[in-house]
């Protein structure tokens, strides 16, 4: 079964060589393609990717002309992907591209039954982070309980990666968000569809390059919280 791993990259030129090396070292099966999405970068990302991927049949790049959000870049990659199984992870190497191997193993094991036409396959697989600073863990716990109370479903570590699911499930999505709320949307839609959800431990280390676009200070965290609350209320209004 062919699969695609989407990795959105925004102004990551300085770390792309390390990222591509990590993707190659991940020893992903030949049936897995890696799609690096240049998500409207304004640095030398296009030139660096072109030089790095000249002769690599397993890793390719696409470009979004203008940055319209983290989720927009992922969606562009998902739409361009060729796999029957789709997933995404971070470009900053806080998570290892090799984590996709564990996700695929579980996904394939629990998605053997061919569903009726139009129905998504059975599994939704997502990492569960360890190795994070205590303050970030507490923040995640707080947001998880908020979502459980508001949306009446059990959520945990919503923004963990990788996130892996079937193309059939992806094709059921309606108007997904273009920012970091995409993680919550995919998780919620999997719960709503009754997919079998599997979490597995992934080490979440320090960023190896670049800077975070949201986890910078309490002002950026507040912006993240505010947007998450707004989108959560939108989900509740739309589906509950």
The closest alpha carbon to 178, from 74, 69, 80, 62, belongs to 69
Element holding 223 (H helix, E strand): helix 218-239
CA within 13 Å, CB half, 147: 27
Number of domains in the chain: 1
Query: What is the predicted pLDDT for the residue at 215?
Result: 55
Q: What angle do CA 127, 173, 136 make, to 5 degrees?
A: 30
pLDDT in tens, 79-89: 999 999 999 99
pTM exceeding 0.95: no
pLDDT value of position 196: 87
Q: Quick one: CA torsion of 2, 4, 5, 8, rounded to 10 degrees?
A: 170
Whole-angstrom distance, CA of residue 200 vs CA of residue 126: 7
Q: What is the mean pLDDT of the chain?
A: 90
- Residue 5 pairs in a beta bridge with 34, 87
> What pLDDT does 217 receive?
62
What residues contact residue 169 under an 8 Å CB cut-off, 6+ apart?
120, 121, 124, 189, 190, 193, 195
Predicted local distance difference test score (pLDDT) of residue 1: 67
Reported as a single tens digit per residue, the pLDDT across 107-150 is 777 655 545 544 445 789 999 999 999 989 999 999 999 999 99
- C-alpha span between 224 and 169 (Å, rounded): 27
Nearest-angstrom CA–CA distance, 23 and 15 = 12
Q: What is the pLDDT of residue 120?
A: 43
Element (H, E) at 226: helix 218-239
Q: Report the chain's C-alpha Rg in angstroms.
A: 17
CATH number of the domain where residue 157 is located: 3.90.550.10
- Each residue's pLDDT tens digit, 181-233: 999 999 999 999 999 899 999 999 877 665 555 555 677 778 888 889 999 99
Percent of the chain with pLDDT over 70: 90
Q: Residue 56's domain spans which residues?
A: 3-239
Cα–Cα separations (whole angstroms), residue 146 to 68, 138, 172, 225: 27, 12, 26, 11
């Amino acid at each position: 079964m062919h699969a695609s791993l989407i990795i959105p990259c925004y102004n990551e030129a300085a770390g792309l060589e390390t990222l591509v090396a990590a993707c190659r070292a991940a020893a992903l099966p030949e049936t897995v393609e890696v799609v690096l999405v240049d998500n409207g970068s304004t640095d030398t990302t296009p030139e660096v990717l072109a030089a790095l991927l000249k002769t690599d049949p397993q890793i390719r790049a696409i470009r979004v002309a203008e940055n319209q959000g983290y989720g927009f870049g992922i969606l562009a990659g998902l739409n361009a992907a060729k796999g029957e199984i789709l997933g995404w992870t971070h470009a900053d190497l806080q998570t290892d591209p090799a984590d996709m191997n564990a996700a695929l193993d579980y996904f394939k094991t629990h998605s053997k039954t061919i569903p009726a036409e139009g129905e998504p396959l059975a599994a939704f697989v997502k990492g569960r982070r360890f190795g994070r600073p205590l303050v970030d863990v507490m923040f995640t716990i707080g947001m998880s309980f908020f979502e459980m109370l508001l949306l009446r479903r059990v959520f945990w570590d919503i923004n963990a990666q990788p996130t892996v699911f079937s193309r059939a499930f992806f094709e059921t999505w309606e108007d997904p968000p273009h920012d970091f709320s995409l993680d919550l949307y995919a998780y919620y839609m999997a719960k709503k569809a009754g997919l079998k959800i599997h979490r597995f431990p992934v080490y979440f280390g320090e960023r190896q390059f670049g800077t975070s676009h949201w986890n910078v200070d309490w002002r950026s965290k507040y912006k993240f919280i505010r947007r998450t609350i707004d989108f959560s209320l939108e989900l509740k209004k739309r589906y509950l």
